[in-house]
Structure 1
Amino acid sequence: MKIDFDEVKQGDQVWHDRYGYGIVQRVQLGTCDVKFNESTKVLTFTEGGYSGGLKVLWWQRPIAFIPRKGQDYSKFHDLVAVLFENLYGENQ
């Protein structure tokens, strides 16, 4: 199973958009079980980090940017791509 192109392994830390950080307890073909905080229950997620058809799991908190109507953000997108490449190497 993968989340955003990276293999999920038991013991990995993931981030859920509602529950925060959790630890992967078990990985099976196409699913993973994650335990959050002090909960005794584990929740199951499908390939890509989905639950109920919605993307809810990431490796870390996603970076949000809210575009405004009528603005041209093409230079901003170019800048982010250059920063990413300089910090982490080739575009992923």
Structure 2
Amino acid sequence: MADILIRKVDEATKELLRQRAERRGKSLEADLRETLDRLAREEAESPDDAEPFGDWLMAISRPGFDLDDTLDLIRSAPVRTAPLE
């Protein structure tokens, strides 16, 4: 396991994170570890980030591809806002 040290976190932010962890019945460290893990995996599991859209689209059109599993994954993914840049 690796260690990450984050310096200069605002005291108010730290307190809000501590309260969040308490509401979830976890220590601050455990809650932050779980949150970081979820965020990292969420980005990595996105079809947009995992592979180019064209490759993904071709893969789902091949015989034997289980589209139901893919649709379940897409439907269960958290909603992300689109950048308006």
Settle same-fold status: TM greater than 0.5.
no
Which protein shows a greater Rg? Answer: 2
Could you say which structure has the greater relative contact order, defined with CA pairs below 8 angstroms and 6 or more residues apart? 1
Could you say which structure has the higher helix fraction?
Answer: 2
- TM-score range for the pair, normalised by the shorter chain length: under 0.3
**TM-score, scaled relative to structure 1:** 0.22
